[in-house]
Amino acid sequence: MLHSSGGRPQNPRGLLIAEVAQATQRLADAGVPSPRFDAEELAAYVHGVKRGELHLVPDSDFDARYWEAVSRREAREPLQHITGRAFFRYLELQVGPGVFVPRPETESVAGWAIDAVRAMDVAEPLIVDLCTGSGAIALALAQEVPRSRVHAVELDEGAYGWAAKNVEGSRVVLHHGDALTALPELDGQVDLVVSNPPYIPLTEWEYVAPEARDHDPELALFSGEDGLSTIRGLERTAHRLLRPGGLVVVEHADTQGGQVPWIFTEDRGWADAADHPDLNNRPRFATARREVP
């Protein structure tokens, strides 16, 4: 139906799409790794629609706050801190300053753990997530293994606060404490221990992406000169917690693939230590089984 405004339809659409194109270029120039996705995600967030619905937003509804959000991302503030949400497998998590933003690579870690627990001949598997951060891995396991009993441990005060928000109403039991001394009451009973611990060497600080270096908690990133200090401690914790035959799953940097399985050695009570790739086929996490006497 044509109108008197020179034949143009009412509520013309196209302004937001044009602005997203400009924003994409600005973010690309700023070195943002996924400029188009981020520009679209910010537009969807500001305008209260899904990314696939941006073309439906009338020009008259364009919100200038979009450019405030783009400027923040241009300064390399994490996308998830601006939107306040992070997606992980089938979850939408609340995140912000003070908590490590879950990465897509960690979905491979959670997926392996979920498959391993499902394959166990255990009616109600007992699972512990150490260094839980936002609670992403613990919540994924609780959601996708419905009869599991999941405990999550976080030391950092800020991260613990975010985890508490995310696990509210779930079956995850959250503990505020040190992963290396946590949950002695569960010693020898746990079916699976999983962790995405800090693993960046202190010597690599200057090479870390600004989103992580300037915004993620240092406690969630760095772990000694070689990055493996926390993982060495977790090896002992996992051995203490696990029942004979129980499994441990630990994320690490793609450059540490040859090193982490050697922490879980036979003389320390482990079997079947192995490395596994992420979705990009890079070494991403190690697994081992507590030896059966």
Q: Which tokens belong to 154?
A: 């976080």
* Cβ atoms of residues 79 and 38 within 8 Å: yes
196 is in an annotated binding site: yes
Q: Which tokens belong to 77?
A: 């503030």
Please name the residues in contact with 90: beta carbons below 8 A apart, sequence gap of 6 or more: 140, 143, 144
Distance CA 111, CA 134 (A): 17
Coil, strand or helix at 274: strand
In the numeric block, the tokens 């000169």 are attached to 225
- The crossing angle, in degrees rounded to 10, of helices 65-74 and 35-47 is 150
Distance CA 210, CA 215 (A): 8
199 is in an annotated binding site: yes
State the DSSP code for 292.
Answer: P
Please name the residues in contact with 110: beta carbons below 8 A apart, sequence gap of 6 or more: 88, 89, 136, 137, 140, 141, 194
154 is in an annotated binding site: yes
Q: Which tokens belong to 264?
A: 């879980």
Cα of 270 vs its chain's centroid, Å: 27
197 is in an annotated binding site: yes
281 is in an annotated binding site: no
Please name the residues in contact with 34: beta carbons below 8 A apart, sequence gap of 6 or more: none
Q: Which residues are annotated as a binding site for substrate?
A: 196-199
Q: Which residues are annotated as a binding site for S-adenosyl-L-methionine?
A: 154, 196
Q: Which residues are annotated as a binding site?
A: 154, 196-199
